[in-house]
């Protein structure tokens, strides 16, 4: 019931690899006290923990391919239906195929009464390639940092900063093509919804954040009004 009441505070952060989905989802979720759910992070944690599901997932991720829909839908469903997602959530990296988007709609229809806010973070390809080539993450705590040379230390835990396995230039190009092929249709699936918004992600992160906050608040208000109208009709 709790989940039903507040779903209109929930956001899907979409966009190609390197668009800044993770950066903005983390910031927004923490500012609003919402749960951030990153399917990429969940997969990387499963790999670290040596879970059986991770063997095939690692092979696909390292090649820049998508993990299969059934696995991803099960992961998202499990995470979304836990009590800590009830006050609202920010999804980062899910859904990535139209099959996943339909499954998310079904989860929402079954368990909630609200409307999802969908944000597309738009960034030109050459900027995405530049960002991913420069990204370094902590091998120990996963913190994403501004470009450091590999070998520098994490500002949070002192761990070694390394390049993500799928950030090598060949794999980045494959990830961008996979996004175009599999995830662009998801944007078309959502585009006509009154709570769909596009933000210019090719600006300074603080500027993107300001625009995003206003957009999400506006779209959430539209979602809440729709919910109210539906409930009173």
Asked if 164 is an active-site residue, the reply is: yes
Is position 228 annotated as part of the catalytic site? no
Residues numbered 145 to 174 that lie near ligand AP5 (CB under 6 A) are: 166
* Known active-site residue 82: no
CB atoms within 10 A of CB 28: 20
Is there binding between residue 79 and ligand AP5 (CB under 6 A)?
no
Segment (H or E) for 13? strand 11-14
Position 183 contacts ligand AP5 (CB under 6 A):
no
Residue matched to tokens 């994490």: 154
Candidates 131, 161, 199, 223; binder of ligand AP5 (CB under 6 A) is 131
The answer to the question of residue 197 lying near ligand AP5 (CB under 6 A) is no
What is the b/e burial string over 210-219, where b = at least 16 CB atoms within 10 angstroms of the residue's CB?
eebeebbeeb
9, 21, 36, 197: the catalytic one is 21
Show the DSSP H helices in the chain as ranges: 2-6, 21-32, 39-48, 53-62, 69-80, 98-111, 125-134, 169-178, 184-190, 205-232
Closest by CA to 73, choosing from 49, 42, 51, is: 42
Options 44, 131, 164, 197, the catalytic residue = 164
Q: What does the per-residue mask of binding to ligand AP5 show for 91-130, with x meaning CB under 6 A?
A: --xx-x---x------------------------------
Q: Which residues bind ligand AP5 (CB under 6 A)?
A: 15, 17-23, 39-40, 43, 60-61, 64-67, 72, 93-94, 96, 100, 131, 135, 144, 166, 175, 201, 204-205, 208
């Amino acid at each position: 019931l709790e989940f039903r009441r507040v779903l209109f505070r929930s956001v899907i952060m979409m966009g190609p690899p390197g668009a800044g989905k993770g950066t903005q989802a983390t910031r927004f979720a923490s500012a609003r006290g919402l749960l951030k759910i990153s399917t990429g992070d969940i997969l990387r944690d499963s790999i670290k923990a040596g879970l059986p599901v991770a063997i095939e997932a690692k092979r696909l991720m390292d090649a820049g391919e998508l993990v299969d829909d059934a696995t991803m839908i099960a992961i998202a469903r499990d995470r979304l239906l836990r009590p800590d997602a009830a006050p609202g959530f920010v999804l980062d990296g899910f859904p990535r195929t139209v099959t996943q988007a339909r499954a998310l709609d079904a989860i929402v229809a079954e368990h909630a009464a609200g409307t999802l806010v969908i944000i597309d973070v738009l960034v030109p390809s050459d900027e995405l390639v530049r960002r991913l080539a420069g990204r370094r993450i902590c091998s120990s705590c996963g913190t994403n940092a501004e470009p450091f040379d590999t070998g520098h230390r994490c500002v949070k835990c002192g761990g070694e900063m390394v390049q993500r396995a799928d950030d090598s230039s060949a794999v980045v190009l494959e990830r961008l093509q996979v996004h175009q092929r599999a995830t662009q249709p998801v944007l078309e699936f959502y585009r006509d919804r009154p709570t769909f918004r596009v933000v210019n992600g090719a600006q300074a992160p603080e500027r993107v954040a300001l625009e995003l906050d206003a957009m999400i608040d506006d779209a959430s208000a539209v979602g809440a009004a729709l919910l109210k109208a539906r409930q009173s009709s």
